[in-house]
Chain A
Amino acid sequence: MSEHDHVHDDADHHDLPVAARVRRLEERLIAAGLASDEEIDAFLARLYESASPVNGARMAARAWTDPAYRELLLSDGNAAAAELGFTELGYQLRVVANTPDTHNVIVCTLCSCYPVSLLGPSPGWYKSFAYRSRTVREPHAVLAEFGVTLPAGVRISVWDSTSEARYLVLPVRPAGTDGMTAAELAELVTLKGLIGTALV
């Protein structure tokens, strides 16, 4: 297995050829008078200011404690996000629920589509060629590298984000959390859990 095949590769994006290409694109926009460096920086700052996996975690925890919210989350992700104050996502949010017999995993084989505002900046591994190419083909092996072994009989459902829809996984509520509040439960939910590369 070459170094490229490991899903945990987390290359510093600034050193990649794509960073130079993005900069050339920015320079073309600036030269054409369509945007300034300040405007681009301000846009990114706005985007990332509130973007955090804490948002997705709050939605998952609410769904665990409120059956009506769970139903809304699974049928109309945008309405459910808006109910917690996350409005104008800019994409159609589709939430897929793990169950005792199905485990969902999100990937974008063509690029790195992902609900940034609800999950924060995407991890390096999510953008890696290894994760993108291997998750659709051998998800059990990829999950094993993340330390996830599913019980026998659990089927994996992989979602390839090729369109305007962005996917989020609703993990199964962990056992032994009966007395916990939504706020306490939200602290248990991880970014990986919301992508499907962890159980919670």
Chain B
Amino acid sequence: MSYAVGDRVRARAGDPDKHTRLPRYVRGQAGEVVALLGEWVLPDSSVAGLAATETCYAVRFAAADLFGSGDHTVTVDLWESYLERA
């Protein structure tokens, strides 16, 4: 599964017991892909001594969705396996 700019995606809700760079505050939340950044080593993989690469996306969330209030947006860079289609 890969995504394009404009796609609605949801950050996975799970709480992995290993290292990840999927911030807790976006887990389970839906946002919009605003940029494709490149193919980079997944941090969850590199800490295990592996070097699996994945597409990384800039995903924009509405603060009101994340925190229940606020008129700002927060854009977070997320690797493909952190996401599912919303």
Contact = CB atoms under 8 A, between A and B. Distances in A.
A124 interface: no
A109 B67 CA distance: 15
Q: How large is the interface on A (under 10, 10 to 19, 20 to 34, 35 or more residues)?
A: 20 to 34
Interface residues of B, number: 24
A92 B72 contact: no
B37 A92 contact: yes
B83 interface: no
A143 to B, nearest CB: 10
B56 A138 contact: no
A159 B75 contact: yes
Interface stretch (A8-16, A26-34, A46-54, A160-168): A160-168
Interface string B45-86: 000000000001010100100110011111111110000000
A122 interface: no
Contacts of A92: 37-38
Contact of B38 (A156, A157, A159, A164): A164
